[in-house]
């Protein structure tokens, strides 16, 4: 198996695109990224605004896809559904 993996590694081309995209859109749990007012709106900046709007009187409903994963990282205040 080791010989196979060494041979395979020699034939592969390094592609870091997915890794770079992950770091570009990563939002640490409960700490949304701050956005520059002149910067284009990105998903992680949008969730900063959503995080700031949450209170004990609100509820979060997330659709499937990227929104669902980003909503998992929101820090819900006490009473927020």
User: Where do the domains of the chain lie?
Assistant: 2-72
Rounded to an integer, the average pLDDT of 11-35 is 78
Question: What is the pLDDT, as a whole number, of residue 2?
Answer: 94
| pLDDT tier, 8 (very low <50, low <70, confident <90, very high otherwise) | very high
Contact 71, 46 (CB under 8 A): no
Average pLDDT, the chain: 84
The SS3 of residue 74 is coil
Q: Which of 55, 62, 47 shows the shortest CA–CA distance to 79? A: 55
Give the tokens for residue 71.
């909503």
Is residue 30 over pLDDT 60? no
Question: What is the pLDDT, as a whole number, of residue 21?
Answer: 85
Contact 32, 48 (CB under 8 A): yes
Q: How buried is 53 (Cβ within 10 angstroms: 0-12 exposed, 13-18 middle, 19+ buried)?
A: exposed
């Amino acid at each position: 198996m080791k010989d196979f993996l060494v041979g395979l590694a020699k034939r592969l081309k390094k592609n870091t695109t997915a890794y770079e995209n992950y770091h570009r859109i990563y939002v640490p749990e409960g700490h949304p990224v701050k956005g520059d007012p002149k910067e284009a709106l990105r998903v992680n900046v949008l969730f900063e605004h959503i995080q700031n709007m949450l209170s004990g009187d609100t509820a979060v409903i997330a659709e499937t896809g990227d929104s669902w994963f980003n909503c998992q990282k929101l820090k819900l205040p006490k009473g927020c559904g």
